[in-house]
Amino acid sequence: MTKNDRANFGSKIGAILAAAGSAVGLGNIWRFPFETGNHGGAAFILIYIGCVLALGIPIMMAEFLIGRRSRANTAGAYRQLSPGTQWKWVGRLGVLTGFLIYSFYSVVAGWTLEYILQAVSGGLNGQTAEGFINTFNSFVSSPWRPVVWSVLFVLMTHFIITRGVEKGIERSSKILMPMLFILLFVLACCSISLPNASEGIRFLLQPDFSKVNSKVLLGAMGQAFFSLSLGMGCLCTYASYFRNDTKLPRTAFNVALIDTLVAILAGFIIFPAAFSVGIRPDSGPSLLFITLPNVFQQAFGNIPLLALLLSLLFYVLLALAALTSTISLHEVSTAYMHEEFNLNRKKAATLVTIGCILLGMLCSLSLGVGSQFKLFGMTLFDLFDFVTAKIMLPVGGLFIALFAGWYLDKQIIWEEISNRGTLKVHIYRLLFIGLKYVAPISIILVFLDQFNVFG
């Protein structure tokens, strides 16, 4: 296929929105709060922000410039920029990582659909905090219901993917992101004003560094990669559709900023409410789904119609935020199969969809009927989350930083970052130091720390 056949994001703002649409999703609203809860709160958040600044932004720029320069899928990108070398394995690892993430992500995305239905049917009305916990647990462990929802979610993603890059992805991001942001803000205000919310706010704002250990560091780093969609060529694939005048540094800053703000807002929704009604902050992946119904119940219980409308709006927007992320995950594998194996886009997308449905089913079942089956002490669902976010993405990020910092011709980086000299770029030096030294060294140190190398 020639370069001209490839799609383009129509406008500059479209590029930012699509990348932000990929980044903002369940990672911010579902995963960030439960990781924060598991790792003790404020200190984790500060380390997370450090990871976004020191690792996230430089690596995002690296992915952008690799993608736009090569105008190819992530494996093809490395082949083009470094023909005949083994760097293509970085791209291939990314495709595999994305596929595994897609499988368990689609399960959680399916849960959002169930909660839309619950919101509409009033199933969440008038329950106690205990009741919400029971409802969630019996739902996720039932054999078929969550599976049906996740299959439906994958099929929705498939439908959008097969309609093409520009139309599907760009249109959906433009209106939904600002709406989501406003609603999150309103809900955070509601949550903060619940009785005894102050304990939750303290949990978010008062760091206790004595509890920081190697797990906290790995958790924060993994969360930064996961939430920013980094380390597997997702944003690299998107950047291959960017226009030549898209400003890469500015896009990277904006995406990181939006993504982090959404995550922190989600924290301000979850923790004040969780402490207020007595839900443990370390409840794990169920945290969002057992805490949020309480916010609606407590804040709007007297006005059932408002509670219904707001909860419906929230779950719909959450599902759509997840959808713009699954689209990006699906696109990585689809572009790879399409361009590397000469399959047409539809066939490529169909294969990815079938594979994901099968693996997603296993992940979903591992929370119920298959829960006795454990690998390394984890269910398949937890294992996929752990291996992808905490190992594969950081390893991918490490190699992306090394590739851009040490291997790529400096001229290429300069041209892409400055749009061939037409932009004034102040952060060029900083970017280089980040990619060459800061990112690789910190990723390696966090990994070494896992083995207790530092005592």
Residues that bind ligand TRP (CB under 6 A): 22-23, 25-28, 98, 101, 226-227, 229, 232, 234, 325, 328-329, 393
Maximum distance among all Cα pairs of the chain, rounded to whole angstroms: 67
Report the alpha-carbon distance of residue 295 to residue 119 in Å, rounded.
13
Smallest distance, ligand TRP to C-beta of residue 222, A: 10
- Which residues have a Cβ under 8 Å from the Cβ of 279 and sit 6 or more positions away? 129, 133, 273, 287, 290, 291, 294
378: three-class secondary structure by DSSP: strand
Closer residue to ligand TRP, CB minimum distance, 147 or 262: 262
Query: Helices 12-23 & 304-340, crossing angle to 10 degrees?
Result: 110
Contact 343/351 with Cβ under 8 angstroms? yes
Token pair of 378 as six digits: 């984890």
Smallest distance, ligand TRP to C-beta of residue 79, A: 21
Closer residue to ligand TRP, CB minimum distance, 99 or 271: 99
Smallest distance, ligand TRP to C-beta of residue 407, A: 22
Smallest distance, ligand TRP to C-beta of residue 362, A: 20
How many Cα atoms sit within 13 Å of 112 on the Cβ side?
23
- Which residues have a Cβ under 8 Å from the Cβ of 446 and sit 6 or more positions away? 214, 217, 218, 221, 394
Question: Which one-letter DSSP state was computed for residue 375?
Answer: B
Question: Which one-letter DSSP state was computed for residue 342?
Answer: -
Report the alpha-carbon distance of residue 428 to residue 74 in Å, rounded.
24
Smallest distance, ligand TRP to C-beta of residue 230, A: 6
Report the alpha-carbon distance of residue 428 to residue 416 in Å, rounded.
11
Closer residue to ligand TRP, CB minimum distance, 291 or 328: 328
How many Cα atoms sit within 13 Å of 225 on the Cβ side?
32
Smallest distance, ligand TRP to C-beta of residue 86, A: 22
Smallest distance, ligand TRP to C-beta of residue 101, A: 5
Report the alpha-carbon distance of residue 11 to residue 264 in Å, rounded.
28
Closer residue to ligand TRP, CB minimum distance, 22 or 276: 22
Query: Helices 410-417 & 248-277, crossing angle to 10 degrees?
Result: 70
Smallest distance, ligand TRP to C-beta of residue 239, A: 13
Closer residue to ligand TRP, CB minimum distance, 44 or 226: 226
How many Cα atoms sit within 13 Å of 271 on the Cβ side?
28
Closer residue to ligand TRP, CB minimum distance, 216 or 255: 255
Closer residue to ligand TRP, CB minimum distance, 231 or 272: 231
Smallest distance, ligand TRP to C-beta of residue 236, A: 10
Token pair of 75 as six digits: 């494996």
Smallest distance, ligand TRP to C-beta of residue 300, A: 27
Closest CA to 381 of 310, 373, 309: 373
Closer residue to ligand TRP, CB minimum distance, 194 or 235: 235
- Which residues have a Cβ under 8 Å from the Cβ of 111 and sit 6 or more positions away? 139, 140, 146, 149, 289
Closer residue to ligand TRP, CB minimum distance, 190 or 230: 230
Closer residue to ligand TRP, CB minimum distance, 328 or 379: 328
Closest CA to 165 of 215, 110, 237, 85: 237
Residue with CB nearest ligand TRP?
27
